[in-house]
Every structure is written in C-alpha cells, then in structure tokens.
Structure 1
Amino acid sequence: MKTLLYVVVASLFVSACVPPAYCSKKPVGKARREDIPYIKCQVCEKLAKQLYHQVQKKQAEIAPKKISEYQIIEIAENVCNLKKAEGDWILQIDIVENEDRLELVEQDSEGQCNSECKTIEQACQEVIGYSDTDVAEYLYKSKPDIDSLLKYFCKDLTEACSTKPPPVPKDRAPGEPFVPKSAKEAEMDRLLKSMEGMPGAPGMKMYSREDLMNMNNFGEGGDDEDEEEDDEAGFPSKLGKVLREKESGSDWKQKLRKGISDGAMTLKKHANRVSNQLRQWWRGKKAGTTKKGQKTGKSEL
C-alpha cells in the first residue's frame, strides 16, 4: 500500500508543481510512411552495420567476459527505438533527394528529429520486425563478419534488399533540411534519455530539453511555513539551476542526479506521512466498529 501511495503522491506532485505551459513540447514530425519503400534497403544495411558495431562495442566494454545472447537481444530490441541510446544513430542520418532516388547520408553530428528522423525509425522497425531474436541468435552463434551479416539480414532473413526500390515520384514534396544539434543539446538529450525510468525521477519524461533550460523560475523559491513544501516546490527549480551551471564547469550531471535523489526523498517522506495518517484513520474506524458491535451484543442480552 505504501508503494501505491508513493506513486500517487509522486504523480500529484509532478502535475502540481509544473505549470501546464512547461509540460508542452515542440511538435514532433510524423513519419512519412510513403517514403519507406524507397529507403528500406538502405535502412536495413545501416541497421545491420549498427548491430555489428554495437555488439562489438558491448563486447569490448565487458571484456574479458563474453557477451551473452540476452545482451545481444537487448541491443536488437532497442536499435530502432529513438527513445533508447541504441537508436541514437538514426539522428545522424539525412534523407537526400537524388533525381528519382532517396539516399541516406550520414552526417558528422546528430540532428534535430523531424519527419525524416521518424521515417527512418519507422522503416527500421518494419525491417527488423519480429526478426530481432533471430538476428541476435545469428550474431551470438555464428559470430559473422559484417558482410556476412548484411547478406543474411537484408537478403535472407528480412528480404529488405531482395528487390530494387521503386523510383521516387516527381511530385514528391521534399523533406526538411538537416539541422544539426549543438554538442550541448546532444549531451542534454542523452542525459534526459538515460534518466527515463530512473527511480526518483517519475516526472522527467514530462520535461523536454527546452523545458528544463527555459524555465524562468528555475532556482527561485519563496518563503513558506512548511519546510517540506518548500523542498517539493523547489525540486524542478534546482534541476534548472544545475543545468545552467554547466557553463561554469561544475559537475552538473552529478548535481542533477543528486537533485532528483533529494526530490525522491521528499516524496517518500510525504508518502509515509499520508500512509501513517491513513493507518491511524483506519485503526480509529476499526476500533469504533468493534465498540459498536460490543454495545449491540450487550443490548440483545
């Protein structure tokens, strides 16, 4: 019951302390599904290379231990998901019109995610489909080189490159230009992504990078008679202050995580207080019911 109360209180706190204007995010472009047939094979080839390199990277990180099949499956499940770190490669791809073809051109840095980014993600998900465990098993057991993986994955398993892509219609509307992120923006997005699902950060998904950086009241707090309410109200403000302190060279990542941890402790205290009040109320009600039953029994005698 205490866990349930904690979740409820956390949800109420997040919704109460963040003004509605701060929860709004920039509109995200939608995938252009009609473009997928023109880029499907290229997406498959880049996806296969990502699977190969990410498995190699994971193996190097955990050496001398050997990578497990489960770890490879986890990579395969996340590699087409922009919400996961394994899907960050999609942000570096630009769709370029070249006569009657669409080409995927890799850029030097990550770009803002628009409809092209979403289209590549959608194409990637369609390519891998339910084959994530199959390709993971192949990588684990066969340990192929990159050329063998490309052939197996894009021609044999998914057949994404079994036929030539159709020509692009002449009246196709051109896509958006590639807009690179600054190094600071990319780092901020990776940090927010890494904190999704983190205990003590129940409402981080409500904040975009722009929300956190642009809140005017970050770091500002008023006097309040209730100290715990001050802590709760100041939680998002502390986050914004920490984010801005990056410019001064402070360890902002550590401070940000500490701010989240402190906020979690405040929420836990509040949940415990509510839980105690409910227990006392229930005991009083139960005691009253027992006394009433005893009086009824005596009157019947």
Structure 2
Amino acid sequence: MPRLGEVEIGEVLDAICDPDDNLGEWITFYDITQQDSELLLQQRDGVGECRRECSTLTHACRAVFDEYREDMTEMLFKHYRTETPKKLSAEKFVSRVCTKMSKSCPAKSAPAGFQHKDEQWLPVMDPDSYKMRKMQHALNKQSKDGVGAPVQFLDPMGPMMMEDEDL
C-alpha cells in the first residue's frame, strides 16, 4: 500500500464533510432526534436523502474541519509517515479532535425550552437519481481540477417528489 502524503490526506479531509462525495456519504446515514434536552444522532441502515438535517450535519462537520484541517492533516501524516507507523485508533483521533482541538464534541444539553423540529429521515427514493447526483458531483469535482467543464443534470421528478415538507 503506497504511503499517503500530507496533500493526499488533506484531500481526504476535504471530502469527508461532503454528503455528495463517497467519503462524506456517511452524513446521509444519520437522523437528528431529540430526547428531553439532548439532541441525538441516530444511525440509519442506509443512504438517506440529504435534506435540512443532513445540511445541518454538513455545516457542523465543515465548521470543525475547516478550522482544524491543517492540525488533523499533520496529526494523521505524523502517525503514518514512518516505516513502522504508530497506531492511531479512531477513538484516539476523535478524542484529540473533540477535546484537545475544538472542544465541539463533548455532549451538551440544548438550551432550555429548545424544541427540535424533527424532519423524517428518508431513504434514497430513486437509486437512478442518486447515481446521477453522485456522477454529477464526481464530474464537477474533476472540473475544479481543470479536467472538463461543470455539468448539471436535471431530475425531471425532483421538484414533484419534495413539495410537501411535512411528510
């Protein structure tokens, strides 16, 4: 397995908060729920439609990653650049990012009286539209690197499927 450099690690971190990217698709698996004054992330069984809650998770992820991207890249690079890489577990990495760097992750209660407006988590309804959206994203990602022109695929059913927000 080839060694990753800082640039490659940085590219992975750039994609981790983008639900349209394969590396950021994990965001669509989560639903935000509220239990008493606590907001919870509930993992679902598959890929979901990225709507308001998914956009909220994307924004929160980017806020942390944008501010600490260089620190995280350096930490990962240092652990894997030697001939015998030091073991950096996912738990240890998360702990360092959440408590030592950002202090964003420790569980906190929602403000008194806060009521989360729940949005029903929906699995991807149309696999073909999902594949087209992923393809569009990949092509547009390449166009940013100077390969090709940006594209926009139109989903003829898109506006009809999401008209009623109170489902």
- TM-score, normalised relative to structure 2: 0.75
- Aligned AA (1:99): D
Find out whether 1:145 has 2:89 as its counterpart.
yes
Q: How many residues align?
A: 146
Partners of 1:167 and 1:130 lie apart in 2 by: 23
- Structure 1's 165 and 179: CA in aligned 2 closer, same or farther, altered over 3 A? same
Larger Rg: 1
Superposed CA offset, 1:24-65 (max 9, x none): xxxxxxxxxxxxxxxxxxxxxxxxxxxxxxxxxxxxxxx2x1
Residue 96 of structure 1 is matched in structure 2 by 33
Partners of 2:149 and 2:101 lie apart in 1 by: 40
Partners of 2:13 and 2:148 lie apart in 1 by: 28
Structure 1, unmatched stretches of 5+, are 1-62, 215-301
**Which of 132, 135, 142 is residue 191 of structure 1 equivalent to?**
135
Partners of 2:98 and 2:12 lie apart in 1 by: 18
Superposed counterparts of 1:67-82, under 5 Å: 67-82=4-19
Choose between structure 1 and 2: higher helix proportion: 1
Superposed CA offset, 1:72-102 (max 9, x none): 1111122123353322211111111222211
Structure 2, unmatched stretches of 5+, are 81-87, 159-167
Partners of 1:98 and 1:185 lie apart in 2 by: 34
- Structure 1's 151 and 173: CA in aligned 2 closer, same or farther, altered over 3 A? closer
Moved over 4 A (4+): 197-201
Residue 165 of structure 2 is matched in structure 1 by none
Partners of 2:65 and 2:148 lie apart in 1 by: 33
**SS of 1:80's equivalent?**
coil
- TM-score, normalised relative to structure 1: 0.44
**Which of 86, 91, 104 is residue 160 of structure 1 equivalent to?**
104
Find out whether 1:113 has 2:56 as its counterpart.
no
Contact 1:85/1:193 (<8 A) preserved: no
- Structure 1's 112 and 169: CA in aligned 2 closer, same or farther, altered over 3 A? farther
Partners of 2:11 and 2:46 lie apart in 1 by: 25
